[in-house]
Amino acid sequence: MRLLFGFCLLFFLNFAEVRAASLEILVKQQKVVLPYLLFKGKKQRGGVVIINGEQNNEGSELVDNLGTELAKHGWSIALLNTSLQINSVPWIEQLPEALSALRQKNNPRMIVIHYGSQLEGSVNYFTKLQSKQVNGMIFLSAFDQPENKEIPNLIHKIPFPLLDIIGQFDYEPVLAQAAARHLSIKNDRYLYRQLPGANHDYSYNKKILMANIHGWMKKLRTTNPVKPPIKHDKPQILLH
């Protein structure tokens, strides 16, 4: 509720190019309404789904702030909260439809940011052949509790770029699991960064966090929207 309230406050802020809205999706015949920040400016960089895996206020404040700042830099933001089951629909079942809804808005890039716990759910989803593919994904202080030691092996199957960010003074499980990923994953698609002086909620490091995330995302390749096939009129046969 705190996160949703934070986004609702944006209705009263005078951002000329950012508008607070809601993203309606349909999952198993259930209507789900997600918090959504729509960028209305000319330079639309892409759509981002932020998955909040934390249940505390500090985690919600971080996601709220990050979403707002990204929106002001040209990204349209949809939020998923792993602790909320809207209309009894788990977050992992909301993810594909949220991605589809953003893609239909002609976003040139599609990105997922997973913050906090329950990383296994996101990783498992994107290793499936039928998953909705994106242009890139960010692990932000991401971890599992208990740890799934197969995660580094599963990440090898993900075909798009990954950015793994943690804070220098992050939670111990975050530090340990990120270190295991960093040692195990050796390919050009994976990039690991530790932000000096940062803790799990990046209280005093929000600007440098934003710079790292926005800087990496805007360099990702764009995807051209699929245009419908051109229909040609059948030639008329003239009888003489």
Is the residue at 36 inside a domain?
yes
Is the residue at 239 inside a domain?
no
Q: Are 198 and 170 in contact (CB under 8 A)?
A: yes
The two structure tokens encoding residue 125: 């989803």
Q: Whole domain around residue 83: which residue ranges? A: 2-217
Q: Reply yes or no: is the peptide bond before residue 228 cis, omega within 30 of 0.
A: no
Number of domains forming the structure of the chain: 1
At 209, the pLDDT band (50, 70, 90 cuts) reads very high
Is the residue at 234 inside a domain?
no
Is the residue at 226 inside a domain?
no
**Cα–Cα distance between 54 and 38 in angstroms, integer?**
24
Q: How many CB atoms lie within 10 A of CB 150?
A: 11
Q: Which DSSP state fits 77?
A: E
Is the residue at 236 inside a domain?
no
**Cα–Cα distance between 45 and 34 in angstroms, integer?**
20
What does the pLDDT look like over 175-199, one tens digit per residue?
A: 999 999 999 999 999 999 999 999 9
What percentage of the chain carries pLDDT values higher than 70? 86
Q: Work out the mean pLDDT of the chain and round it to a whole number.
A: 88
Is the residue at 238 inside a domain?
no
What does the pLDDT look like over 76-132, one tens digit per residue?
A: 999 999 988 777 899 999 999 999 999 999 899 999 999 999 999 999 999 998 899
DSSP H helices in the chain = 2-8, 57-72, 91-103, 119-126, 151-155, 172-184, 206-217
Is the residue at 19 inside a domain?
yes
CATH number at residue 35: 3.40.50.1820
Is the residue at 224 inside a domain?
no
